[in-house]
Amino acid sequence: MASRRFITVLDKMILSDLTKTVFSTLLVIVVIIVSRSFIKVLAKAIEGQISGQTIINILGLKIVEAAIELLPVSIFVGVIMVLGRMYRDQEMSALASAGAGIGVLYRASFFFAIPLALVTFELSLVTAPWAEATIQTMMQLDKQASDIRVIAPGRFTEHKNGELVFYVEDIDSKNIMHKVFVQSRIRGQEGVINSETATFQNLPGGRYIVFANGERVQGKPGELNFIIEKFSEYAVRLDFEATSVNLNRDAIPTERLLTNQVPVDIAEVQRRLSIPIGIIVLASLAIPLSQVAPRGGVYGNIFTSLVIYFSYSYLQKINQNLVAEETIPLWMGYVWVYVLMLILIAVLLVKVYGKKWVIFQLTGKTPG
């Protein structure tokens, strides 16, 4: 007697279609979402608050964050599109005549959804907070050095709230500044530095601007006591204020949130857990939603499905606020949201396959 294969040919076919459709959908949605949110980052880059290298790093991390957040809706839409196409092309009728029912569709879909949910569990609880913390840290560190980075040839720029004013005639490809003028106001003393060239250098003790071949004048306005000196090399330390990075709650590691046992922190942990759980729930919901009339087209139920998804997302946000404000017990979490979704799945299955079929699946007995 031949043993039944763990993964059938039908499973492989549906898995192949799901993989291509889900990740194509994810790519499109991520590009749209990241492009819109990245405009703010680009605006800061134009103002000189963020360096070019930091922009590239932030873009990569933003894509990771968006991909994790959007995996549930991607698999939701992907399952509906794949199974909807099979209904339209009469493939489901052929499968039904061969004895393949709803269980086969759930089996094939879960072969894809469950491993993806397990991977997303780690991504949502560990990778996403790390990515957000890295973004916030990089932006904070770049902001500290933004005054220096905005130095441009042919214009005056300020540093440290006007304590230093720079003017550079030219900057070559090696970032060496030529014909440099600097005016400083420190502790009531004014100084002027003129030099042939200047460069920024990381030296022991901090970051310095090193002038070469120039003249330094220092004194107090209104007095005749001035110091005038020529130099071949002169360095000025650029003291950046040491500021701690205050991470938003979505950037705090999950372990620390669980240790705090504060309602708002528990609500954040539950939100992170809702992403992998949502993959399973939405994949289960997509299967009865995917049934369309043969002439209804692949996208027959996409609009209805998106309304249901946005309602589900809105309920999740409401739940997070309720948990954070201790309006509902912490242990309840998203349970009531998932109960509503399970009820909706049951209603759709009854609508698509009939009450008798559902009772038979649950009890194994055909109702009289």
Measured between alpha carbons, how far is 342 from 314 in angstroms, rounded to an integer? 17
Angle, CA of 346, 113 and 316, to the nearest 5°: 60
pLDDT at res. 338 = 92
Rounded to the nearest 10 degrees, what angle do helices 335-353 and 355-363 cross at?
A: 120
Choice between 184 and 259, residue whose per-residue pLDDT is larger: 259
**What was the pLDDT predicted at 284?**
92
Q: Average the pLDDT over 338-359 and give the result.
A: 81
- Residue 91 pLDDT exceeds 90: no
pLDDT reported for residue 150 = 61
176: which 2 tokens? 């060496």
Overall average pLDDT of the 112-137 stretch: 92
What tokens does 142 get? 């770049």
Higher pLDDT among residues 23 and 354, named by residue? 23
What's the confidence (pLDDT) of residue 3? 46
273-295 b/e (C-beta count within 10 Å ≥ 16 → b): bbbbbbbbbbbbbbbbbbbbeee
Task: Please give the structure tokens belonging to residue 233.
Answer: 């090399």
Q: Could you tell me the pTM of the whole model?
A: 0.72
Most confident of 152-166, 207-221, 227-241, 313-327: 313-327
Task: Convert the pLDDT of each residue in 144-175 to its tens digit.
Answer: 555 555 677 777 777 666 677 888 888 887 77
Can you give the pLDDT at residue 118?
95
Is a pLDDT exceeding 90 seen at residue 350? no
Q: Examine the pLDDT at 223 and tell me if it is beyond 90.
A: no
Question: 327-344: b or e for each residue (b if 16 or more CB lie within 10 Å)?
Answer: eeeeeebbeebbeebeeb
Tokens of 265: 């922190």
Q: What is the pLDDT of residue 127?
A: 94
Do the beta carbons of residue 309 and residue 282 sit within 8 Å? Answer: yes
What percentage of the chain exceeds 70 in pLDDT? 77
- Mean per-residue pLDDT over the chain, rounded: 80
Mean pLDDT is lowest, of 91-95, 112-116, 124-128, 341-345, for 91-95
The number of beta carbons lying within 10 Å of the beta carbon of residue 146 is 15
> What are 327-336's contacts with CB under 8 Å, separation 24+?
330/263, 330/266, 333/270, 333/273, 334/270, 334/273, 334/274, 334/277
pLDDT higher than threshold 80 for residue 335? yes
Per-residue confidence band for 294, with pLDDT thresholds at 50, 70 and 90? very low
Question: In the predicted model, what is the mean pLDDT of residues 72-89?
Answer: 86
The values of phi and psi at residue 168, to 5°, are -125, 130
**What's the pLDDT band for 101 if we cut at 50, 70, 90?**
low
| Average pLDDT over every residue of 120-148 | 81
At residue 34 the predicted structure's pLDDT band, cuts being 50, 70 and 90, is confident
Per-residue pLDDT tens over the stretch 244-285: 556 788 889 999 988 887 889 999 999 999 999 999 999 999
Q: What average pLDDT score do residues 85-89 get?
A: 77
How many residues can be counted in the chain? Answer: 368
Question: 364: part of which helix (H) or strand (E)?
Answer: none
pLDDT of residue 2: 45
User: What distance, in Å, lies between the first and last C-alpha atoms of the chain?
Assistant: 36
Given this model, what pLDDT does residue 104 score? 79
Q: In this model, does residue 322 exceed pLDDT 50?
A: yes
- Highest mean pLDDT (candidates 63-72, 103-112, 285-294): 63-72
Rounded to whole angstroms, how far apart are CA atoms 229 and 238?
21
Please report the pLDDT score of residue 125 as a whole number.
94
Structure tokens at 115: 């491993």
Query: Which of 303, 353, 299, 351 is closest to 85 using CA atoms?
Result: 299
Point out the least confidently predicted range of 47-61, 90-104, 208-222, 323-337.
90-104
Element (H, E) at 139: helix 128-144
